Amino acid sequence: MDTINADQAGQVLTSVMPAKRASTTARQASVPSDASGGSGDDGCNGSNYERMFDPFTVDDNGVWFCGADQDGKRKPPEWLCSRLDVEALTRDQDGGGWGYLLAFADPLGHRKTWAMPARMLSADGGEYRATLLNMGLRIATTQRARTRLTHYIQTRTPESFASCTDRIGWHGRAFVLPKETIGDDAERIVFQSDNPVENTFRVKGTPDQWRVRVGALCVGNSRLTFAVACAFAGPLLRPAGMESGGFHYRGDSSSGKTTALKAAASVYGGASYLQRWRSTDNALEATAAQHCDGLLILDELAQIDPKTAGECAYMLANEQGKARATRTGTPRARQVWRLLFLSAGEVGLSDHMAEGMKRTRTGQEVRMADIPADAGAGLGAFENLHGKEGGAAFAKHITVQTQTVYGATGRAWLHWLTEHSDTLKAGIHNASDALAQLMIPKDCSGQVERVGARFALVGAAGEMATAAGLTGWSVGESERAARCCFNAWLTARGGIGNGEIVTMLRQVRRFLELNAEGRFAMWHRGSDDQAPKTLSRAGVRRMLNDDGQPIKGNSQLGTAFGDRMPATLGEGVSFEYFILSETFKAEVCQGFDHKMVARVLLDHGCLMPDKGRAFDCRPRLPGIGNTWCYRIPPGIFALDL
């Protein structure tokens, strides 16, 4: 934009306004056109000739308003603010969301830019001025000057245009960050938000320094390497076409979990990049949106309310926030994202939810895979201390290094990804699929395949970053770490089957373990008046001998066990359970379809229906008579769950 100083502006005003009643034709002929546009003086009525003259001038001292009185006499220039340039007009991809890209320097001379939504000018302008003041712009205090500042911004017509977005992450081949955009060669793309956003993507040091000080320490440590590889995998979720999900390091205090998270955070930023679980679900939505197409790191799972922990895990993986309405009742636009999240805590998700009396669903555990933090080498989360005296000293050394260098490697990684955007999709697909075929067991459930594909993506991302020269690791280091962590997750999970099946079997067995003595009457004492009363009866249990034959009455005990009665009765005895039909459906199968639970029990040899019946039976129970029930043999306690 061409600028003129205050004296020049006064001369122009004097020359074009010689009299109070100058004709429109004369004024149009006298005023030179100004490419920067704008409107006229205090008496502006919006006509074309008044827009031809711009009363605002900009120099290194600030923005000035050069007005004139009704007689055309020049007034002294009025200072509005320190220098503020409108570099471009912004709009979103749908042609809405217009705004202004503002640039200025703070009192220390640091360049600041802000893509301001134009709708912030609709009211008195206090909101946008507060943001500019907070960023370091100096603004005049008079109400008239503030109004003219709004006038100045609205009348700028820069030649440049830029696309704006309120979402961090991939936009075509460009990657948008809060303060910069990487790879927007085709069209300038800027981040535009109504509210100030904390910039956690900070830089200190160089990629070479990070590779030596942090990356090299990960070698030989599966948990450290995997955590750092997660940082490289975050931007690859979208090119790989994979849904959001996460991992959770579970282990004792001071085992090295948080150290692994700090190492991962150092790829993109400093200490502020590592977030905490301690927040409301609304705040967590905003945090997730700020880390879209990246890695969200959350420490200390125990700090979130156990009643909402499961819902938050679902929310992060389901990639959108809660639906809300505006004041008029219309739906408000949801916050959306796609990200990988890495968590840590002393307890796992299921144990933490149990503290809030919540049952963990398999979908939640699949979305946030629980990895034991203990690597099994007697050093907590570590396996190779790189010459340090102990795990504590090694953890402290890593923490210090992550405070001295951070962020530069992440910038270099994003530059590499945008430069290779043409081949990125095919490359990550082929690499992750190949690794998944090697590490995922055959004949496993779809849930295991789903989580295994996420582990494989992380391993492949680490190898890709190694090939880009960013990690300093040897070839195969990231893949070995991913396979080690996947095997640890699979072992802790308890097998390669569907998680719902294990959950159902555990739930039935837990009901019997808790209620066998108190809620099940003894079959052989059904006619005994002296037998203890069974309150809240759930069914009947029948004693079996060594051969699995039932003991139906007291008279059979001596025959069944001979001389071993009664001293060693407990060694060979077992029980089968007859659970009443409604109790089975309402209590034992709570949260599941009772037919599905019965099918799982039958498939595992833990249900004995009558001939011709799918699941239940109709015996004559002592003290009850003929009734429908579910017969559970003692083999349910022998299952390896």
Assigned domain for 328 exists:
no
Among 37-51, 391-405, 424-438, 610-624, the minimum mean pLDDT is found in 37-51
Last residue of a domain, one of 191, 222, 246: 191
Q: Given this model, what pLDDT does residue 571 score? A: 62
Assigned domain for 199 exists:
no
Higher-confidence position of 546 and 372 = 372
CA 74 vs. chain centroid, Å, equals 58
Q: What average pLDDT does the structure give for the chain?
A: 85
- Domain count of the fold of the chain: 4
Q: Is the predicted pLDDT of residue 233 greater than 90, yes or no?
A: yes
pLDDT in tens, 511-568: 999 999 999 998 887 666 677 888 899 999 999 988 888 876 555 554 444 444 444 4
- Domain range for 74: 6-81
Assigned domain for 579 exists:
yes
Q: Are residues 392 and 440 in the same domain?
A: yes
Give the contacts of 466 (CB within 8 A, at least 6 positions apart): 472, 473, 474, 475, 477, 478
Contact 125, 150 (CB under 8 A): yes
Q: Given this model, what pLDDT does residue 73 score? A: 80
Contact 411, 266 (CB under 8 A): no
Q: Given this model, what pLDDT does residue 589 score? A: 93
Assigned domain for 53 exists:
yes
Assigned domain for 131 exists:
yes
Give residue 366's pLDDT band: very low, low, confident or very high (50, 70, 90).
confident
Residue keyed to tokens 């719902």 = 500
Q: Given this model, what pLDDT does residue 605 score? A: 94
Q: Are residues 395 and 280 in the same domain?
A: yes
Rounded average pLDDT over 145-171: 92
Last residue of a domain, one of 39, 59, 81: 81
Q: Are residues 475 and 533 in the same domain?
A: no
Among 217-231, 281-295, 381-395, the minimum mean pLDDT is found in 281-295
Assigned domain for 341 exists:
yes
Assigned domain for 615 exists:
yes
pLDDT in tens, 61-92: 999 998 887 777 888 899 999 999 999 999 98
Give the contacts of 99 (CB within 8 A, at least 6 positions apart): 89, 90, 91, 115, 116, 117, 118, 164, 192
Q: Are residues 123 and 236 in the same domain?
A: no
Share of the chain above pLDDT 90, in %: 59
- Nearest alpha-carbon partner for 587 in 532, 536, 635: 536
**DSSP type of residue 474:** P
Assigned domain for 422 exists:
yes
pLDDT in tens, 481-512: 999 999 999 988 877 777 778 888 989 999 99
Contact 67, 42 (CB under 8 A): yes
Last residue of a domain, one of 191, 215, 234: 191
- Find which of 46-55, 215-224, 565-574 is predicted with most confidence, using mean pLDDT: 215-224
- What stretches of 36-142 show up as alpha helix (H) in DSSP? 48-51, 126-135
Q: Given this model, what pLDDT does residue 365 score? A: 78
Q: Are residues 376 and 441 in the same domain?
A: yes
Q: Are residues 163 and 228 in the same domain?
A: no
Q: Are residues 310 and 427 in the same domain?
A: yes
Q: Are residues 366 and 472 in the same domain?
A: yes
Q: Are residues 340 and 319 in the same domain?
A: yes
Give residue 96's pLDDT band: very low, low, confident or very high (50, 70, 90).
confident
- The Cα 551–Cα 545 span in angstroms is 7
Q: Are residues 175 and 233 in the same domain?
A: no
- Find which of 311-320, 333-342, 493-502, 600-609 is predicted with most confidence, using mean pLDDT: 600-609
pLDDT in tens, 6-32: 444 444 333 333 333 333 333 333 333
In three-state form (DSSP H/G/I as H, E/B as E, the rest C), the secondary structure along 505-574 is: HHHHHHHHHHHHHHHEEEHHHCCCCCCCCCCCCCEEEEEECCCCCEECCCHHHHHHHHHHCCCCHHHHCE
Rounded average pLDDT over 143-158: 93
Q: What is the pTM of this model?
A: 0.76
Q: Are residues 505 and 603 in the same domain?
A: yes
- The Cα 618–Cα 252 span in angstroms is 50
Q: Is the predicted pLDDT of residue 372 greater than 90, yes or no?
A: yes
Q: Are residues 173 and 37 in the same domain?
A: no
The token pair that represents 134 in the structure block: 């907070």
Give the contacts of 499 (CB within 8 A, at least 6 positions apart): 362, 365, 366, 445, 447, 493
